[in-house]
Amino acid sequence: MSIVKSSRNKDQLLLDGFRYRRANKSQSIWRCYKNNCAGRVRCDGLQYVNVTDHIHAPCPEELIAMEFKSKIVDSAVTSYYPPRRIINEALTIVSKDDGTAVPNYTSSQRTIERKRRKKDIPLPRPKSFDDIMIPDGLKVTHGGGRFLLYDNGSSSKRIIILSSDDDLDCLSNSEHWHSDGTFKIAPQLFEQLYVIFGYVCGRALPLVYCMVSGTAEVLYDEIFGVILQHISGRPKTISIDFEKAVENSIKQSLPTTSISGCFFHFKQCLWRKIKNLGLQQSFVDNSEVRRCLKTIGCLALIPEQYVILEFEKLQETSPDSLNNFLDYFEDTFIGRVIRNNRRRAPRFAIKMWNCFLRLDQDLPRTNNSSEGWNRAIKNSARENPSVYESITDLKIEQ
């Protein structure tokens, strides 16, 4: 049973293969849309009771076509999706056996375009955080469950967190988390989309989506504070990208959780510095430079107690052209030598970025699953989406 709009925007009841319209503006009596048919049903609370039988057979194919058309028309005026995506999503409610009942692609595309020409699409792009008013339809999942977990409503440090109850249960039961911020698909006005993954059956799945206005530590404190209020479990480990603000926040929020830097992001950090120092061409052309730089990256894969010794060997044997890179690596990941041959604390402790124990214990050392998701969402999501478009995209992913 469903109620759809006619071409004249009138309610029509689709029930058991028959189509009805309201009888004389009645709110409880529906009559068959065929003028010569006396078929009637009465709305009795939440149930429809047959009053008068029809004089003709039902036509379920017609109702399938009407439900399909109603769905694409609704999507046409409530989303910015291209016609192909709208049509494909609408087809998910149609079984293969009933596929011939719906209009063809060209006809459906024309319906979408015609509806959009007649009516302006709602939910304009907000120009400031104060303009953001999330409609009720975006606060819930497609199944009707809660999706909007948190919105601080701030006009300057806005945070919106999205997650379903089922996903929070998965996160609560996951012993290993991974978090990652992506900037390319962040909604307009927000700096990043910060995603927290949980490991389910050995695979990282996106479970919490955070639209964040910046990268300050206080924002991460707020995010983790909200999430931990809604789950009972705590992870044994969490892998992160190399953001100091994230690390500091997790140390406060999850003091017993082991924090590790993702090996994928570790290599990314090194490669960005190689390019920043103009060493990219030397890496390609000079085999000695290439060998040294690759060996530095491999320090993450040897036992932690040998890292400093092997790094010092590399310092002695590397070409002078790598001195600036070695200084960066020492300050960031090893710790510069100070008095009495001691080293000051690096920006990121060796135990954070070293993967040897994780390899030995068969723990996640990289985030290939989450990076695969990032690539997929970047390919399917719109560039520079509004906050409403982004929530709509994430509802589909969820």
pLDDT, tens digit (0-9, with 9 covering 90-100), for 73-95 = 888 887 767 778 888 888 888 88
**Distance between CA atoms of 357 and 354, rounded to whole angstroms?**
8
Q: Which two tokens stand for residue 265?
A: 């992001």
Q: How many residues does the chain have?
A: 398
Are 321 and 279 contacting, i.e. CB atoms less than 8 angstroms apart? yes
Average pLDDT of 307-313? 95
The residue written with tokens 């529906």 in the block is 30
pLDDT of 92 reads 86
> 333: Cβ–Cβ under 8 A, 6 or more apart, which residues?
346, 347, 348, 350, 353
Residue 96 CA: distances (Å) to CA of 2, 68, 70, 78, 99: 20, 14, 19, 27, 5
Which position has the higher pLDDT, 217 or 358? 217
Encode 213-244: b = buried (16+ Cβ within 10 Å), e = exposed: bbbebebbbbbbebbeebbeeebebbbbbbbe
Give 313: exposed, middle or buried? Use CB within 10 Å, 0-12, 13-18, 19+.
exposed
* 1-58 belongs to CATH 2.20.25.240: yes
Is the pLDDT reported for residue 315 higher than 80? yes
Is the pLDDT reported for residue 370 higher than 70? no
Encode 119-129: b = buried (16+ Cβ within 10 Å), e = exposed: eeeebeebeeb
Which position has the higher pLDDT, 213 or 5? 213
Average pLDDT of 203-211? 92
Which position has the higher pLDDT, 238 or 137? 238
pLDDT of 117 reads 67
pLDDT of 203 reads 80
**Distance between CA atoms of 28 and 47, rounded to whole angstroms?**
10
Is the pLDDT reported for residue 298 higher than 60? yes
Which position has the higher pLDDT, 357 or 327? 327
List pLDDT tens digits, range 31-47. Answer: 888 888 888 888 876 67
The residue written with tokens 């375009």 in the block is 113
pLDDT of 272 reads 94
Name the β-bridge partners of 140: 146
Q: How confident is the model at residue 368 (pLDDT cuts 50, 70, 90)?
A: low
pLDDT of 123 reads 59
132-136, 292-296, 360-364: range with lowest mean pLDDT? 360-364
- Enumerate the CATH 3.30.420 domain ranges in the chain, comma separated: 129-262+368-397
**Distance between CA atoms of 365 and 371, rounded to whole angstroms?**
13
Q: What is the DSSP string of 320-345?
A: GGGHHHHHHHIIIII--B-GGG-BPP
Is the pLDDT reported for residue 382 higher than 90? no
Of 19-28, 90-99, 334-343, which one has max mean pLDDT?
Answer: 334-343
pLDDT of 365 reads 56
Which position has the higher pLDDT, 155 or 223? 223
Report the percentage of the chain scoring pLDDT > 90: 47
Is the pLDDT reported for residue 285 higher than 70? yes
Is the pLDDT reported for residue 122 higher than 70? no
- pTM of the complete model: 0.65
pLDDT of 289 reads 95
The residue written with tokens 């694409």 in the block is 72
Of 101-105, 195-199, 208-212, 258-262, which one has max mean pLDDT?
Answer: 208-212
Name the β-bridge partners of 50: 41
Region at 22 (left for phi over 0; alpha for psi -120 to 50; beta for the rest):
beta
Are 209 and 394 contacting, i.e. CB atoms less than 8 angstroms apart? yes
Q: What is the DSSP string of 44-70?
A: ETTEEEEEE--SS---HHHHHHHHHHH
CATH match for 129-262+368-397 among 1.10.357, 3.90.550, 2.20.28, 3.30.420: 3.30.420
Q: How confident is the model at residue 380 (pLDDT cuts 50, 70, 90)?
A: low
Q: How confident is the model at residue 294 (pLDDT cuts 50, 70, 90)?
A: very high
40-44, 242-246, 249-253, 280-284: range with lowest mean pLDDT? 40-44
Is the pLDDT reported for residue 204 higher than 90? no
Is the pLDDT reported for residue 369 higher than 80? no
Amino acid of residue 314: L
> 214: Cβ–Cβ under 8 A, 6 or more apart, which residues?
157, 191
Q: How confident is the model at residue 233 (pLDDT cuts 50, 70, 90)?
A: very high
CA dihedral 365, 369, 375, 380 (to 10 degrees): -160
- Enumerate the CATH 2.20.25.240 domain ranges in the chain, comma separated: 1-58
Average pLDDT of 342-366? 83
